[in-house]
C-alpha cells in the first residue's frame, strides 16, 4: 500500500482499528503497538516510518485474534437503544437529599473497597437487563486469563 502511494496515516489508522476490532483483548499490547506506529508516522514521516508500520503489521498478523469485545459492544449499544429510558436500580442512585434517601436511593449500595473480598454483589443494570452478560472472553491469548479472572470474581460473589 505504501509503495502504491497510500497515505501512511491512513494505513496506521486501519491498523489501530484492526487491533481494536479483530485482535481485541486477546492481545492487549496490539493497540499500543499500532498507536506507537501511528506516532512514528507522525514524527518521522516517509520514508522512515515504513519500518514502524511493517513492525505493526507483522505484530498484528501473528497476534491471537478475538472479536469478543467488538460483539459485546454491539450488544450493549443495541440494549441501550432499546432500554434508553429504563431507570437504574435505586441502590446505585446517588442520594444527595433527604427525600431521595427516604425513597430508597442508595439503600443497599455496596462499596467494594469496604468489603472483605473487594467484590460487590449487586445488580447495576435496570431490571429489564438483570443478569445480562455482554463480554464473553474466548480462550485466545489474554482473554483466557480474563475469563479466569471473571470466574474468580463470580466465585467471590457467591462466597
The predicted model scores a pTM of 0.81
Q: Which of 90, 69, 75, 95 minimizes the C-alpha distance to 17?
A: 69
Within 10 Å of residue 101's Cβ, how many Cβ atoms?
12
Mean pLDDT of 5-16: 97
Report pLDDT digits (tens) over 62-121: 999 999 999 999 999 999 999 989 999 999 999 999 999 999 999 999 999 999 888 888
| Contact partners, residue 10, CB within 8 Å, separation at least 6 | none
Homologous superfamily in CATH for domain 68-158? DNA polymerase III clamp loader subunits, C-terminal domain (1.10.3710.10)
pLDDT band at 159 (very low <50, low <70, confident <90, very high): low
pLDDT digits (tens, 9 = 90+) for 107-156: 999 999 999 888 888 889 999 998 899 999 999 999 999 999 999 998 88
Q: Which CATH number fits domain 8-62: 1.10.10.10, 3.40.50.2300, 1.20.272.10, 1.10.645.10?
A: 1.20.272.10
Amino acid at each position: 500500500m505504501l509503495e502504491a502511494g497510500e497515505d501512511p496515516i491512513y494505513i496506521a489508522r486501519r491498523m489501530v482499528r484492526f487491533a481494536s476490532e479483530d485482535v481485541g483483548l486477546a492481545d492487549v499490547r496490539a493497540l499500543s503497538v499500532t498507536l506507537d506506529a501511528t506516532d512514528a508516522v507522525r514524527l518521522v514521516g516517509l520514508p522512515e516510518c515504513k519500518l514502524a508500520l511493517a513492525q505493526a503489521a507483522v505484530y498484528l498478523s501473528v497476534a491471537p485474534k478475538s472479536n469478543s469485545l467488538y460483539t459485546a459492544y454491539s450488544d450493549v449499544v443495541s440494549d441501550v437503544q432499546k432500554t434508553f429510558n429504563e431507570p437504574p436500580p435505586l441502590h446505585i442512585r446517588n442520594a444527595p437529599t433527604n427525600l431521595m434517601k427516604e425513597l430508597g436511593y442508595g439503600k443497599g449500595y455496596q462499596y467494594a473497597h469496604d468489603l472483605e473480598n473487594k467484590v460487590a454483589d449487586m445488580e447495576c443494570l435496570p431490571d429489564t437487563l438483570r443478569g445480562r452478560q455482554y463480554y464473553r472472553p474466548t480462550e485466545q491469548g489474554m482473554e483466557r486469563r480474563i475469563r479466569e479472572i471473571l470466574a474468580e470474581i463470580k466465585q467471590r460473589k457467591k462466597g
